[in-house]
Structure 1
Amino acid sequence: KTLHRINRGHDFACYQRTTRLARQRGLKVCSHLIVGLPGEGEGECLATLERVVETGVDGIKLHPLHIVTGSTMAKAWQAGRLTGIALDAYTHAAGEMIRHTPPEVIYHRISASARRPTLLAPLWCENRWTGMVELDKYLNVHGAQGSALGNPWSVA
């Protein structure tokens, strides 16, 4: 639903077919997952993660939605119909996604940044370290990658 809502140009079945074909040819697959997309909360993020992992993925790049100048979402943000994700909401959702990710999946990115005037929201995304530091704190309290899957090696 979200892929259609954000006008991505493909559906999840297309992602699955492409991923399977790439893996059949011996290619490693790294998927980008965005936290804070319109209409999505933590539950949808975890459902997406589960489907991506089930499809077969070697790595994940995770980052918050950036609302940037010139985009369709920027128009919605300027009209007050869209807000950027708050740091605490990102930290909790991303932290839980990491905790629900099997240890063999490599995280290549857990935050991202953009600068004003390109970045409109959320402004905490001007410094990628802000998100990374908060995620580090969250995972130190709640458990490391895979800890929500019941793996005995994970710190709980």
Structure 2
Amino acid sequence: ELSTQTEIWLEFGIQSIYDETLRRINRGHDSENVKEAIRKAKAYGLNVCGHLIFGLPGETKDMMLETAKEAYALGIDSVKYHPLYVVKRTALANEYARGEFEPITQDLYLEVLKEALLAKPPHVSVQRISAGIDDETLIAPQWCREKNGQFRAINEALKEVGLKY
């Protein structure tokens, strides 16, 4: 009812469409839960933004791109892309310390981002193209520390395919 009076956006942390990944990162839900929530929101005429994390443990480039394509197919209106980074005092930090997880490289993130953007339907807007943290809690990857450097690298990579952020 409220959506008929004002613009409403719901944001969903899709992150991955792979249940094994969602279990590994302790999301507390499976991919079908997110799909159903998005379908319900769209049925009510609400705007939906989906968050996608590239570089989740165990995921390949193809898996990351398939997540993006499925998110678009769900009818999201907007997207936020994030690289996964490791911060102190987390289960992921413990995996990283044991050598069980290697963070996404900037080169791979840029490669996946370019392809995801090229696959994105024109009506889906982009609200965020990266994420990072610049404090003592960041463990890895260090390229996520400096936002300006990230944006320079992103713009250079996007130029290669005729895009600009």
TM range (shorter): 0.7 to 0.9
1:3 aligns with 2:14: no
Q: Which has the higher strand share?
A: 2
Give the aligned partner of residue 72 of structure 1: 91
1:45 aligns with 2:70: no
User: TM-score by structure 2 length?
Assistant: 0.83
Return the alpha-carbon distance in structure 1 between the equivalents of residues 42 and 131 of structure 2. 27
**Deviation sequence 1:2-44 (CA, Å, 0-9, x none):** 1122111111111111001111112111111011101112100
Offset at residue 116 of structure 1 (A): 3.1
Offset at residue 101 of structure 1 (A): 0.6
Offset at residue 136 of structure 1 (A): 1.5
CA contact (8 A) 1:91 1:131 kept: no
Give the aligned partner of residue 128 of structure 2: 109
Q: How many residues of Structure 1 are paired with residues of Structure 2 in the alignment?
A: 145
AA aligned opposite 1:49 = A
Offset at residue 46 of structure 1 (A): 0.9
Return the alpha-carbon distance in structure 1 between the equivalents of residues 150 and 123 of structure 2. 23
AA aligned opposite 1:143 = G
Structure 2 unaligned residues grouped into runs of 5+: 1-19
Return the alpha-carbon distance in structure 2 between the equivalents of residues 32 and 128 of structure 1. 19
Give the aligned partner of residue 144 of structure 2: 125
Give the aligned partner of residue 6 of structure 2: none
Offset at residue 127 of structure 1 (A): 1.4
Name the SS for the 1:33 alignment partner. strand
AA aligned opposite 1:70 = R
Identity fraction in percent: 37
Give the aligned partner of residue 35 of structure 1: 54
Give the aligned partner of residue 25 of structure 1: 44
CA contact (8 A) 1:111 1:129 kept: no
CA-based RMSD: 1.4
Return the alpha-carbon distance in structure 2 between the equivalents of residues 28 and 120 of structure 1. 35
Question: Residue 95 of structure 1: which of 105, 114, 126 is its match?
Answer: 114
Name the SS for the 2:160 alignment partner. helix
